Amino acid sequence: MMANITELSDKTFNDETSKGLVITDFNADWCPPCKMMNPILEKLSSTDELGDKIKFTSMNVDHNPDTPNNFGIQGIPTFIIKKDGNIVGRMVGYQPEEKFRLELEKYM
């Protein structure tokens, strides 16, 4: 797992995403677009402007089926943005870095 990104499980998801601004990357090891997003997530989570204001998390949908099912996730990668436990945004599929950054900045 990447240094600045917290790996979540079905058991830890609610506690880890209930406070502050949190983005969760729902992904799988076999997913090429998910792998393409990894360097973008790592870079953005390491920046002062985003990494200090947004908690970056990740969940493997193959190892944790309950949470993705609860959120109706049908395609990966899917990114859910929560603020104080409430879903405020969702993105699906590969996102170019600048578009992804601009989307996250809307919630800060």
Give the burial string for 72-98 (b: 16+ CB within 10 Å, else e). ebeebbbbbbbbeeeeeeebeebbeee
On whether the CB atoms of residues 89 and 80 are closer than 8 A, the answer is: yes
No. of helices (H) and no. of strands (E), the chain: 5, 5
Has 31 been annotated as catalytic? yes
Catalytic residue among 5, 8, 23, 31: 31
**Residue 34 bears catalytic tag:** yes
- Of the residues 5, 34, 76, 80, only one is catalytic, namely 34
Tokens of 38: 């990894």
Residues annotated as catalytic are 31, 34
